[in-house]
């Protein structure tokens, strides 16, 4: 009888069941790595004025070194920035990234900020190089003359759109007016 119990226990126990199959999950950081690399390299290239990062950005976007693109990249050329934004969308699609629009908006903001910084740097260099430094207080310097077009454009926008762009208006008409006050698509640069 002892052997009978042993047979019953051996038959019931058997081999343990195989472990459940695990579904491989993609690392969320890996999904956005190339898009984030474009953002960080472009920021280091433009704001940090780091030529090495500019070269890395070109290699990431083109897959090879391309010295002819270095000057337009450093000058924040519109064609180059559009190409980089398109590469971000391509990388996001290939990597399975969910929302590339937010990254592209951040990239556009970085581009706009660097363009403004370039204008400010040019103005500062103009002040330093201006032989008639006593005219700084009157606004008749080379730098002041260079920035007058920007000031006129901003004044025209404020005149056309009122207080909307100053953040003081919050009624339901503001969203309708923001569409009317937005610059035409042809004048926007990315």
Reply yes or no on whether the pLDDT at 72 is more than 70.
yes
pLDDT more than 70, % of the chain: 52
Q: Which of 11-15, 32-36, 160-164 has the highest mean pLDDT?
A: 32-36
The whole model's pTM is what? Answer: 0.57
Q: What is the dihedral of CA 123, 126, 128, 130, to 10 degrees?
A: -140
For residue 76, how many C-alpha atoms fall within 13 Å in the half-sphere facing its CB?
22
Binned at pLDDT 50, 70 and 90, residue 84 comes out as very high
| Largest distance between two CA atoms of the chain | 115
Contact between 6 and 74 under an 8 Å Cβ cutoff? The reply is: no
Higher pLDDT, 68 or 137: 68
Contact between 30 and 95 under an 8 Å Cβ cutoff? The reply is: yes
Reply yes or no on whether the pLDDT at 91 is more than 70.
yes
- Sequence spans of domains, the chain: 31-129
d(CA 126, CA 85): 32
Please state the rounded mean pLDDT for residues 109-126.
Answer: 88
Q: What is the predicted pLDDT for the residue at 188?
A: 47
Please state the rounded mean pLDDT for residues 162-177.
Answer: 46
Cβ-based neighbours of 88, under 8 Å, separated by 6 or more:
35, 38, 100, 103, 104, 107
Q: Which two tokens stand for residue 111?
A: 């581009």
Q: Which of 3-7, 17-21, 109-113, 172-176 has the highest mean pLDDT?
A: 109-113
d(CA 122, CA 143): 7
Higher pLDDT, 166 or 20: 20
């Amino acid at each position: 009888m002892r052997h009978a119990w042993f047979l019953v226990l051996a038959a019931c126990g058997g081999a343990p069941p195989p472990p459940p199959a695990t579904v491989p999950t993609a690392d969320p950081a890996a999904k956005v790595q190339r898009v984030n690399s474009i953002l960080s390299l472009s920021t280091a290239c433009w704001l940090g004025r780091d030529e090495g990062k500019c070269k890395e950005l070109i290699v990431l976007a083109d897959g090879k070194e391309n010295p002819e693109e270095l000057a337009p990249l450093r000058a924040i050329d519109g064609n180059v920035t559009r190409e980089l934004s398109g590469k971000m969308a391509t990388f996001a699609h290939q990597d399975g990234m969910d929302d590339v629009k937010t990254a592209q908006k951040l990239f556009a903001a970085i581009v706009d900020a660097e363009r403004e910084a370039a204008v400010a740097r040019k103005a500062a260099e103009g002040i330093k190089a201006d032989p008639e430094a006593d005219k700084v207080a009157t606004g008749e310097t080379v730098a002041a003359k260079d920035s007058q077009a920007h000031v006129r454009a901003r004044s025209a926008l404020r005149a056309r759109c009122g207080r909307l762009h100053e953040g003081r208006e919050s009624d339901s008409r503001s969203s309708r007016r923001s569409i009317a006050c937005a610059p035409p698509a042809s004048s926007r640069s990315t």
